[in-house]
Amino acid sequence: MLTVYLLRHGETFYNADGNRYCGATDVGLTEKGIRQAHSAAALLKDLSFDAIYASPLQRAHITAKIASGTDSVITDDRLTEASFGSWEGKTRAEFVSEDPGLWNSWAAAPDHTRAGGTGDTAMEVVERVDDFFNQKQKEHPDGTILVVAHNAVNRFYMAWKLGMPLKNYRQLVQENSAITLFQLDENAEFSLLKLNAG
């Protein structure tokens, strides 16, 4: 059974500025975000990980290094945050007022609607993240790993594994640098043990 400690990165400058959508934009951590990563490190300090993985975007990669207390972090493009197309850098209120129809399409059917018109669909995200975790289950069948990724990526994957419609992904809240714990067995069956532990 693979045990996964899953984190969302610490607070970014976009998160702090009216919760602007970061998406695939490489936005840095605030001082608060760095403190959040150190808080995660305190919670994880007594654990031993077989490997530490992170999205290559700096907010996740730096959070992973701080939270794990090591520079031995393996980046994987499959963990990169969903691209939100024209919505990146904007608040939801801003881009909804620009094109409410596009937001309504995304909210109703993110599975096959491109975020921001040109970004990812939810299924594209799920497929790459699911591929990542299935591979890691085979590489570490009885191991424990730390994975640091992003809000949409993490929530889409968990919603999918829990059998939820992907349009309900926002019902799973992932706080910055909070710890989510799940397991995957040899059949890739998913068990959610903790959400937003702190």
pLDDT at 197: 85
Q: In the chain, what percentage of residues exceed pLDDT 90?
A: 96
| Strand, coil or helix: 139 | helix
Among 133, 124, 122, CA closest to 5: 133
**pTM score of the predicted model:** 0.96
Distance of CA 192 to the CA centre of its chain: 15
pLDDT at 190: 97
Q: What tokens were used for 163?
A: 């059998």
pLDDT at 118: 97
CATH architecture entry for 2-197: 3-Layer(aba) Sandwich (3.40)
Could you state, in order of their start, the residue ranges of all structural domains in the chain?
2-197
Q: Is the pLDDT of residue 80 over 80?
A: yes
Q: What tokens were used for 180?
A: 């989510």
Active-site residues, by number, are 9, 81
pLDDT in tens, 148-169: 999 999 999 999 999 999 999 9
pLDDT tier at 102, thresholds 50, 70, 90: very high
Q: 84-119: string of b/e by CB count within 10 Å (b at 16+)?
A: bbbbbbbeeeebbeeeeebbeebeeebbebbbbeeb
Half-sphere exposure in the Cβ direction for 20 (13 Å, CA): 16
pLDDT in tens, 39-54: 999 999 999 999 999 9
Q: Is the pLDDT of residue 27 over 90?
A: yes
pLDDT in tens, 7-22: 999 999 999 999 999 9
pLDDT in tens, 60-78: 999 999 999 999 999 999 9
Among 182, 179, 149, CA closest to 73: 149
Q: Which residues contact 157 (CB under 8 A, 6 or more apart)?
A: 125, 126, 129, 130, 133
